[in-house]
Structure 1
Amino acid sequence: MKKYAYIGALGFLAIITTEFGIIGILPQVAEHYHISIDKAGYLLSAFALVIALTGPFMTLLASGFDRKKVMLTAITIFLVTGLVSSLAPPFWLLLIVRVLPAFLQPVYIATALSVAILQGNKKQENELMSIVFSGVAIAMVTTVPFATYIASLSSWKYSFTIQAIVSLIALCAIYMTIPSLPVKEKKSFGSQLKILTKPIFLVSTAMNFFMIAAWFSTYSYFAEYLNKAKAMDGTMVSYMLFVFGIIGVIANWAAGKMLNRNITFTTIFFLSGTLIIPLLLNFSGGNTFATICTIALWGFLYSPSFLNASTYMISSAPEALEFANSLATSFGNLGVTLGTTVGGWIIVSKGVEFSPWLTMLFGCLAFLMIALRQFLEKRTITKQQEC
């Protein structure tokens, strides 16, 4: 049944609007608080770092609770965050309030994915996952650019108001649509932690980490890059986010279909963008049409990154679905932290036009991890045949 996957996607939309809605207004926030752009970037990197450090443990702790209650609790905290942030509190308080929902973000994602998969058709597992993850792409085409557009017309505070409204809608949908889903048989912590001893899983985790770091070393400063390197104003940036997102919706749908056929090929195909996009951004120069075309391709190749990374990791540890999902979320967000932090340092020390080359560097490391996993899998098959 796809209904639960779509509800999970709606909650994901609220989460992504809160986490990444800040990207389009970072320059305004930096100006309001009289801080540098890299310090404003802490609002994104700190959020991601908390997810990375606490995600797996929070997911293990929540694994025995009613799944509906877990999802409701997570979205409620996102709602509160949006409301408080819209009041423009002191920067230190804004940072704390931003970080709070990060503790339950991976819990929500892992729970929503497990609900969609367990209530659906096993043969459609990757497609159901793509529906849940489509919340990311839909946010990029609707709420994130809309929040950026509204902020460009009035105040960045309204961006957080929009985030709160989306969270409220998701909260109501989950409450009214999803039935009580108590956990019938809780898996032991030991059985789930066992996947951490599998070399193939660990290499897959590293690929996830480098892939997301690659994309976010530039994407985290999307508005700043287009402002400074491509001379686009806030309104134009919101249009670019819209283009980025609408292409991303198509990309997530395509990735879901492709993953059902070949997970490794699909991952490589979309990861190739980390090598292609930096070159195109560089050669597009001040040509607006070429830049728009590059951003469209960027949106297509970037948007399924979390879906691809999660599927790639889970394929190496299907016996611990929720825990593997939480680790995928955590290491993906650790990649967000690394990419955002190093990207901010590059911008401050070298200039914003250099950040895409960082994307290429991390992308090469991700490709190296895929090659290493292929080697380990072939070696494992050879040993099994010899036995």
Structure 2
Amino acid sequence: MKENNLIVFILTVGVFGILNTEMGFIGILPNIADQFGVSVATAGWLVSIFAIGVAISGPTMPLLFSRLNRKKVMVLVLSIFVAGNVISIFTSSFTVLLIARLIPALFHPVYVSLAFSVAANSVKIKDVPKAISKIFIGVSAGMVIGVPIASFMANMFNLQVALSFFAIVNFLVLISTLLFIPSIPVNERISYGSQLKILKKSLTWFSILTALLFNAAIFAVFSYLAEYLQTVTNVSANVTSFILLIYGAANVIGNIWAGKLLTSNPMKTMVYVPVLVGLLYIILFFTGQFTFPAAVLIFFWGILAGIGANLTQYVVSSAATEAPDFANGLFLSSVNIGTTVGAAAGGLFIASLGTSHVILAGIFAALLSLLFIWLRNTKYTAVVETTERKLQEKASALT
């Protein structure tokens, strides 16, 4: 049991390192622009190209590596990330830096999908949601905590120190993986054709669209939260940073709670979370100009977003248990596309109606996600009932 806990811990830190490499660049874009003599907008491509790489490789790369020894694949991916980090530290070419970002991005879904699968296989079936929630703590930490840490290091020391932080985390996880994670061969090698069959199921597509739309509901607003706080709530940059930190801490709390909620009653959790997000958005729409209510609402929103991240992974993975790695890859691709769609929708609402109305984009996406949750759960219940009936018929035939 202790060995399994150690494996889950290493995977959690590993996911933190991967997400830290992806999102941490957000906090150092001005430093990169100065270092490489490009505009901040051009430097922003370092974030965009990573997200594009993840979205493209999400459905394919986990599938391609699904039949190989898990430990060997994780070592390969971590080695690629360390190499990309080291190149980023020493290169003086912005083009080389872009390439050093794109190649690891293509392998990002491989490690994260494996982290979910290996964590799930390291515990008893009833404890799977709790193990997955621990992995999501690494995801949240990488997305939220990595940004201020990298920004602090770049401003306090220099850009190379911040980039070294990414490299050191991934290197330590690589060594820990080599030393403490045992060989994990794939005992049952599922053919690529068998895994691709999950794409024929309407349940899979309802689940993918649920994950995409819920993530769009979160990021339609979160992508512009700093601007919202400074223009609508009218708080200072320092207060904005503090509230964003509150959101990040709440996100981690949500990840912890998610394991318990999805273990006890996943179907109700699927319905309640988007409903609560929608209601919270409606309240925020009318009270967002007041600092304290906005801060409190954003704290609870962070909790719901943390639960929702676990929820969307569960929605997709439970719909395609016969191809877990491929399903996790589809999940990663769908939420990345959801992030892009949500940010684009939020931008359109801001451009046409103003910053305060960005919340309407989140409400609309939350309602759509609720619709697809209903379609998904209806189909899921029908599939379960059909499977149980077939098993009963077989049992009756045998007796």
Query: TM class by shorter-chain length?
Result: 0.7 to 0.9
What residue is the counterpart of 1:194 in the other structure?
A: 197
Cα deviations across residues 36-80 of structure 1 (Å, max 9, x unaligned)?
A: 5xx766544432332222222111211122211211222233334
Q: Which residue, 60, 65, 71 being the options, matches 1:57?
A: 60
Return the letter of the residue paired with 1:326.
G
Residue 320 of structure 1 is aligned with which of 317, 323, 330? 323
**Correspondence for 2:104:** 101
Question: Do the aligned partners of residues 331 and 89 (structure 1) sit closer, same or farther apart at CA in structure 2, a change above 3 Å counting?
Answer: farther
For residues 343 and 86 of structure 1, what CA distance do their matches in structure 2 show? 34
Contact 2:29–2:40 (CA<8 Å) still a contact in 1? no
Aligned with residue 207 of structure 1, among 204, 210, 216: 210
Q: Deviations over 1:329-351 (max 9, x none)?
A: 11111112222344345556654
Name the residue aligned to 1:217: 220
CA distance in 1, matches of 2:238, 2:139: 22
**1:292 and 2:295 aligned:** yes
Greater shift in the superposed pair: 159-168 or 225-234: 225-234
1:139 has 2:137 as partner = no
Give the number of aligned pairs. 385
Structure 2: which amino acid aligns with 1:376? K
**Partner of 1:272 in structure 2?**
275
Distance 2:296 2:33 in 1: 29
State the match for 2:367 in structure 1. 364
TM-superposed deviation, 1:141: 5.8
What does the per-residue CA deviation read over 1:211-269, in whole Å, with 9 as the maximum and x for residues that have no partner?
11221223234444444444455544443332222222221111111101222222233
Matches within 5 A, 1:247-286: 247-286=250-289
SS at match of 1:180: coil
Contact residue 55 and residue 329 of structure 1 kept, 8 A = yes
2:397 corresponding residue in structure 1: none
Structure 1 residue 24: deviation in Å?
Answer: 4.6
Question: Residue 305 of structure 2 aligns with which residue?
Answer: 302
Q: Given the superposition, is the C-alpha separation of residues 223 and 128 from structure 1 closer, same or farther in structure 2, using an over 3 Å criterion?
A: same
User: What SS does the aligned partner of 1:192 have?
Assistant: helix
Structure 2: how far apart are the matches of 1:26 and 1:356? Answer: 26
Alpha-carbon distance in structure 1 between the residues aligned to 2:169 and 2:369? 34
Closer/same/farther in 2, CA of residues 151 and 236 from structure 1, 3 Å limit: farther
Comparing 152-161 and 369-378, the one that deviates more: 152-161
The answer to whether the Cα contact below 8 Å between 1:46 and 1:99 also exists between their aligned partners in 2 is yes
Residue 39 of structure 2 is aligned to residue 34 of structure 1: yes
| Whole-angstrom distance in 2 between the partners of 1:205 and 1:237 | 33
Larger of the two Rg values belongs to structure: 2
Cα distance change of structure 1 residues 179 and 256 upon mapping to structure 2, 3 Å threshold: same
Q: Distance in 2 between matches of 1:347 and 1:161?
A: 37
Aligned residue for 1:319, secondary structure, equals coil
What does residue 112 of structure 1 align with?
115
TM-superposition CA deviations, 1:61-103 (whole Å, max 9, x none): 1112221121122223333444444569666554443332221
Q: CA deviation at 1:163?
A: 2.8
The amino acid that maps onto 2:359 is P
The TM-score, its normalising length taken from structure 1, stands at 0.86
Q: Please name the residue that 1:246 is paired with.
A: 249
Separation in structure 1 between the aligned mates of residue 178 and residue 207 of structure 2, nearest angstrom: 35
**Which residue identity is paired with 2:178?**
Y
Report 1:336-375 matches (<5 A): 336-347=339-350, 351-375=354-378
Q: What is the distance in 1 between the residues matched to 2:33 and 2:364?
A: 28
- State the alpha-carbon separation in 2 of the partners of residues 57 and 154 from structure 1: 39
SS at match of 1:304: helix
Residues in 2 aligned to 1:192 and 1:33: alpha-carbon distance in whole angstroms: 44
Is residue 235–residue 291 contact of structure 2 (8 Å, CA) maintained in 1?
no
- 2-structure distance, mates of 1:51, 1:311: 19
- CA distance in structure 2 between the aligned counterparts of 1:305 and 1:95, rounded to whole angstroms: 31
Unpaired stretches in structure 1, ≥5 consecutive residues: none
Shift of 1:289: 2.1
Give the whole-Å Cα distance in 1 for the aligned partners of 2:373 and 2:285: 27
TM-score after normalising by structure 2: 0.83
Give the alignment partner of residue 329 of structure 1, picking from 321, 327, 332: 332
Whole-angstrom distance in 2 between the partners of 1:160 and 1:351: 36
Judged with a 3 Å threshold, the aligned counterparts in structure 2 of structure 1 residues 133 and 298 are, in CA distance, closer, same or farther, namely same
C-alpha contact 2:51 2:105 (8 A) present in aligned 1: yes
The answer to whether the Cα contact below 8 Å between 1:67 and 1:182 also exists between their aligned partners in 2 is: yes
Amino acid at match of 2:197: K
The answer on 1:46 being equivalent to 2:49 is yes
Alpha-carbon spacing, 1:370–1:180, altered in 2? closer, same or farther (3 Å): same
Query: Mean alpha-carbon deviation: is it higher for 287-296 or for 148-157?
Result: 148-157
Q: 1:115 to 1:379 in 2, by over 3 A?
A: closer
Note closer, same or farther for the CA distance 1:175–1:257 as it changes in structure 2 (3 Å cut).
same
Instruction: Kindly report the root-mean-square deviation, in angstroms, between the aligned alpha carbons of the 2 structures.
Output: 3.2
Higher mean Cα deviation, 209-218 or 232-241? Answer: 232-241
